[in-house]
Amino acid sequence: MLRLTELRLPLDHTPEALEAAIYERLSLVPGTLERFSVFRRGHDARKRSAIKLVYTLDCVVKDEAAVLASYKAAHPKDSHVALTPDMAWVPPVTYGATLAAKPGFKRPIVIGAGPCGFMAALMLARMGLRPLLLERGKVVRERTVDTFALWRRSELTPESNVQFGEGGAGTFSDGKLYSQVRDPRFLGRQVLKEFVAAGAPEEILYLAHPHIGTFRLVSMVEHIRAEIEAAGGEYRFSTRVDGLEFEHGTRRLRGVRTAQGDVIEADHVVLAVGHSARDTFAMLYENGVEMQAKPFSIGVRIEHPQSVIDTAQFGPSAGNPLLGAAEYRLVHHASNGRGVYSFCMCPGGTVVAATSEEGQVVTNGMSQYSRAERNANSGMVVELRPGEDYPNDPLAGMAFQREWERKAFIAGGENYYAPAQRVGDFLAGRPSTTLGAVVPSYKPGVTPTDLATCLPPFAVEALREALPLFDRKLRGFAMEDAVMTGVETRTSSPLRVPRGQNGQSLNTPGLFPAGEGAGYAGGILSAGIDGIRIAEAVALSMAGRPVEG
Ligand code: FAD
């Protein structure tokens, strides 16, 4: 099969035009294109009056070798036609069931049922290794009820919320499924294929910026659970891991202790707890597991009418169904040395209450598959540096997050309302007393106020500099009535739990740190990719084989 990249066609091209473009690109003789499929479709909207669709296609042609050779001879420096790479995932261990049948076999434990944990468990189950998945939160449908209780009635359940429970942090999200991680083995493709098999729309396999939306994510994680259980895995919900058990006098892990006090023996434990498991991080620290402080960011969510973003990005093509609701990505290096950037943009979505601790306010964003809500929202965040903004100590970033989340709770009125401010007021340095034409979507509600009371001064300064500049790139971005809600503190983990080439903690053999909480992923797709990687490392270790570099 041949892969053609960067095939550009007008937004309104006919279906036949795609085939014609393949014939033209490859100089094919009529009748020699047997079939083709779209591997990726994105768009280039830099010229708004002439937006192009950009395709990557996989083509089956007669006499493939000759076609490729003649193309290369005619275009020796061109890399846009090549053989389609082999993207299949091959399990590193195929005799897991035999291992599992041996006397004394101990099942691997996976802590956390987020995308990293459930992908690790799925792959371990497929390899016959019967993983046990321990999740502090509840099964996804019950978790949904608890999450909505915060949004509707200001009632937080600390063990079952936006961050904790089956499906992990991204379950109530936009479900964006793209990532910028290097992925030479196409593990991301494997994650997407598993998601489609579990009910996600097929288009996630080829859209350049796919998303699933909350509703479908919920049923998808249920399907994945059924798949894991059918392959010999087991889930235990409402089971928080509170301690580690070591072999006598060593740092070799021999199991975990749950909040109920049970000790579960295991020689292989995947730590996929996400970035909000603060009590778990403290427990790891007390147990001497090697950890390091890591940079993250702080800021707010910003909301505009989606129509403003659509027009700014797509001009006369705004509303075209092939383009969908417009996204944006903005970056500015402020003169105080801080990077300011948009984060986790949710077109046609809502801002959500995302705290997992009492007496704190944290914002994030989500959307449904349709992305049809009135507002676009995105994190607008400023980078932080350990050693400068908080001590260079593994747990200090967490303390910093708590401090600002608490200030946001107080500024919001101490009832889980979020502090909010009009952009016009924020730029003018005056508190908001009312809001304008943009109705904030955050539930349970917002309190108009001065966001400078719940953000570090350098972040306020950097945001005030960046917003007018972003308006030059995206007209309307600094509109007076755009609404900012605070605070966005959980952009990524405030710490890293480093691991070696064998996937294991540098000083705690048997512990496999993975996913976002350990600093190895940032988003659903990259967490899923890391879940596959860590499952491979566990399987190889169980089989007594080294991990290849
Ligand atoms: P998590 O998903 O955080 O999962 C960790 C799991 O571990 C949780 O279920 C938790 O309950 C459990 N756990 C924690 N401690 C323990 C313990 N001690 N014992 C047992 N279980 C424990 N990313 C995207 O790519 N696209 C998006 O559109 C997107 N939107 C988001 C919207 C929201 C509202 C939020 C909160 C996040 C969003 N993200 C998005 C980020 C994404 O969700 C995370 O990057 C991803 O979920 C990380 O996966 P993970 O498996 O590493 O950790």
Instruction: Name the residue of 297, 441, 516 whose CB sits within 8 Å of the most ligand 1 atoms, as the mutation to test its pocket.
Output: 516
Global model pTM greater than 0.90 = yes
**Ligand 1 center to 112 CA (angstroms):** 9
Q: Is 547 among the domain residues?
A: no
- Is the separation of the CB atoms in 143 and 171 below 8 Å? yes
Same domain, yes or no: 284 and 300: no
What is the residue type of 130? Answer: R
Same domain, yes or no: 328 and 476: yes
Q: Is 89 among the domain residues?
A: no
State the sign of the Cα–Cα–Cα–Cα dihedral 423, 427, 433, 437. negative
Domain end residue (candidates: 488, 505, 531) = 488
**Ligand 1 center to 244 CA (angstroms):** 22
How far is the CA of 168 from the CAs of 185, 252, 524, in angstroms? 25, 28, 9
Same domain, yes or no: 25 and 68: yes
The minimum-distance atom of ligand 1 relative to the CA of 134 is: 20
How far is the CA of 327 from the CAs of 43, 304, 312, 316, in angstroms? 12, 12, 10, 16
DSSP annotation of 168 reads -
**Ligand 1 center to 163 CA (angstroms):** 6
Instruction: Supply the residue whose CA is at minimum distance from atom 25 of ligand 1.
Output: 523
Same domain, yes or no: 336 and 190: no
Which pLDDT does position 245 carry in this prediction?
Answer: 98
Instruction: Supply the residue whose CA is at minimum distance from atom 39 of ligand 1.
Output: 170
> H-helix or E-strand containing 293?
strand 292-293
Residue-wise pLDDT for 264-309, tens only, equals 999 999 999 999 999 999 999 999 999 999 999 999 999 999 999 9
- Is the separation of the CB atoms in 397 and 383 below 8 Å? no
Residue-wise pLDDT for 236-261, tens only, equals 999 999 999 999 999 999 999 999 99
Residue-wise pLDDT for 129-175, tens only, equals 999 999 999 999 999 999 999 999 999 999 999 999 999 998 988 88
How far is the CA of 460 from the CAs of 59, 224, 271, 290, in angstroms? 52, 42, 35, 34
Domain end residue (candidates: 488, 507, 526) = 488
Q: Is 235 among the domain residues?
A: yes
Same domain, yes or no: 157 and 10: no
Residue-wise pLDDT for 343-382, tens only, equals 999 999 999 999 999 999 999 999 888 898 999 999 999 9
Same domain, yes or no: 204 and 154: yes
Same domain, yes or no: 238 and 374: no
CA pair distance 356, 276, nearest whole angstrom? 7
Which pLDDT does position 549 carry in this prediction?
Answer: 59
Instruction: Name the residue of 123, 262, 273, 367 whose CB sits within 8 Å of the most ligand 1 atoms, as the mutation to test its pocket.
Output: 273
CA pair distance 276, 143, nearest whole angstrom? 16
Task: Kindly report the backbone phi and psi dihedral angles of residue 413, in degrees, each rounded to the nearest multiple of 5, phi listed first.
Answer: 110, 10
DSSP annotation of 127 reads T
Is any atom of ligand 1 closer than 6 Å to the C-beta of 151? no
Q: DSSP characters for 180-231? A: -S--TT-HHHHHHHHHHHTT--GGGGTBSS-B--HHHHHHHHHHHHHHHHHT
Instruction: Supply the residue whose CA is at minimum distance from atom 48 of ligand 1.
Output: 516
Q: The domain that contains 139 carries what CATH number?
A: 3.50.50.60
Q: Is 76 among the domain residues?
A: yes
Host domain of residue 252: 101-291+497-542
Q: Is 455 among the domain residues?
A: yes
Which pLDDT does position 181 carry in this prediction?
Answer: 87
Q: Is 180 among the domain residues?
A: yes
Domain end residue (candidates: 83, 112, 130) = 83
Q: How confident is the model at residue 176 (pLDDT cuts 50, 70, 90)?
A: confident
Is any atom of ligand 1 closer than 6 Å to the C-beta of 323? no
Same domain, yes or no: 426 and 392: yes
Is any atom of ligand 1 closer than 6 Å to the C-beta of 256? no
Same domain, yes or no: 457 and 474: yes
Is the confidence metric ipTM above 0.90 for this complex?
yes
Is any atom of ligand 1 closer than 6 Å to the C-beta of 137? yes
Q: Is 90 among the domain residues?
A: no
Same domain, yes or no: 69 and 133: no
Residue of 228, 233, 240, 224 whose CA lies nearest to 273: 240
Is any atom of ligand 1 closer than 6 Å to the C-beta of 241? yes
Is any atom of ligand 1 closer than 6 Å to the C-beta of 168? yes
Summarize the confidence of residues 7-11 as an average pLDDT. 96
Is 80 exceeded by the pLDDT of residue 548? no
Give me the percent of the chain exceeding a pLDDT of 90: 94
Q: The domain that contains 28 carries what CATH number?
A: 3.30.70.2700
Name 274's Cβ contacts closer than 8 Å, sequence gap at least 6: 112, 114, 116, 163, 164, 168, 169, 493, 515, 516, 517
Same domain, yes or no: 511 and 405: no
Q: Is 549 among the domain residues?
A: no
Same domain, yes or no: 264 and 340: no
Number of domains in the chain: 3
